[in-house]
Amino acid sequence: MMNDLNKQLLDKYVSSIDQQLLKFTENKPELHGVVCQAMEYSLMAGGKRLRPVLCLEFYRMCGGKDIDSILDVACAVELIHTFSLIHDDLPCMDNDDFRRGKPSCHKAFPENIALLAGDALNTLAFEVISNAALEGRVSAQSAVMLISVLSKGVGVDGMIGGQVIDLMCEDKDIDIDTLNKLQSLKTGALIESACVMGVILSGTFEKIPDAAEYASALGRAFQIVDDLLDVNGSFEELGKPIGSDKEQNKSTYVSLLGETRSRQIAAQLTMQALGHLSKFENNQFLSELTEDMLNRRK
């Protein structure tokens, strides 16, 4: 469990992230502001803010001093994550009516507006990084690296590729290697992008491999816990329907390995993540957060 000081730091991070996310959609044009309303609806629907927190923590652990100056860049990862959730919930994808305890974006707004809100969040992420470079808060080299890392984490060799494998594997029996590949792309790639982006922002590029190794282990553990919660959680805790993976005939770590083995592997991966994290100084906060992710209920 996190100590009180680290809980306060997490609360401060989340509050700063929420304030920054609101700034992205504060201007709503008269004729087409509805898309900004939909973007804001999904951005502010809650969430752990894990990805921007990871980015900010790796920046801090690697010697970064001015979090306020790069906060919007860290939030670019949350823009991408939120875009993926909007699209994930659409009828042509997972067809989920609820997200974080509220109607999904395509239920609160017309489906076509929800689709465009996701598209807009995707492009906004890269606009934010570019603007940080144009304003001199991030070097041109770092901005190119950030865009490269984030775009790869989103694309065919990242989140979108994982989603395609997921769709293609519905109603099919798959082996554990295929599931590992699926989840390393669908869930793990964006978590890795967040961690590596924090290192890039700090300028200590030699630490990128260590951050990536940490993220790989954390991402798999995170997904296994997600699969366990889909079986044992509640709508009140998760804010979305329970058992949707089984309903859609999706292979999960629980369906392939069982609950006991899944918990064992999640614990092993968490220990691996903590081992990689030990290579960074001032890692107590992230160590405690990593352990909390293993025992979370939502």
Domains of the chain: 4-294 (1.10.600.10)
> By the 8 A CB rule, do 2 and 10 touch?
yes
| pLDDT tier for residue 152 given thresholds of 50, 70 and 90 | very high
Q: Where are the beta strands (DSSP E) in 192-295?
A: none
For position 251, what pLDDT does the model report?
82
Whether residue 234 has pLDDT greater than 80: no
Of 151, 243, 124, 146, nearest to 195 by C-alpha is: 146
Instruction: Name the least confident of 78-92, 100-114, 136-150, 219-233.
Output: 219-233
| pLDDT tier for residue 247 given thresholds of 50, 70 and 90 | low
| pLDDT tier for residue 33 given thresholds of 50, 70 and 90 | very high
Predicted model pTM: 0.93
pLDDT in tens, 190-203: 999 999 999 999 99
Buried b (16+ CB within 10 A) or exposed e, 102-111: bebbbebbee
- State percent of the chain over pLDDT 70: 94
Whether residue 20 has pLDDT greater than 90: yes
| pLDDT tier for residue 171 given thresholds of 50, 70 and 90 | confident
For position 173, what pLDDT does the model report?
86
> What does the block give as tokens for 12?
């401060």
Q: How far apart are CA 143 and CA 130, in angstroms?
A: 7
Whether residue 263 has pLDDT greater than 60: yes
Q: What residues contact residue 20 under an 8 Å CB cut-off, 6+ apart?
A: 71, 72, 75
Q: What residues contact residue 281 under an 8 Å CB cut-off, 6+ apart?
A: 61
What share of residues in the chain are helix, strand, coil (percent, to 5)? 75, 0, 25
For position 268, what pLDDT does the model report?
97
For position 1, what pLDDT does the model report?
75
For position 110, what pLDDT does the model report?
97
| pLDDT tier for residue 236 given thresholds of 50, 70 and 90 | low
Q: How far apart are CA 52 and CA 77, in angstroms?
A: 6
For position 207, what pLDDT does the model report?
97
> By the 8 A CB rule, do 197 and 212 touch?
no
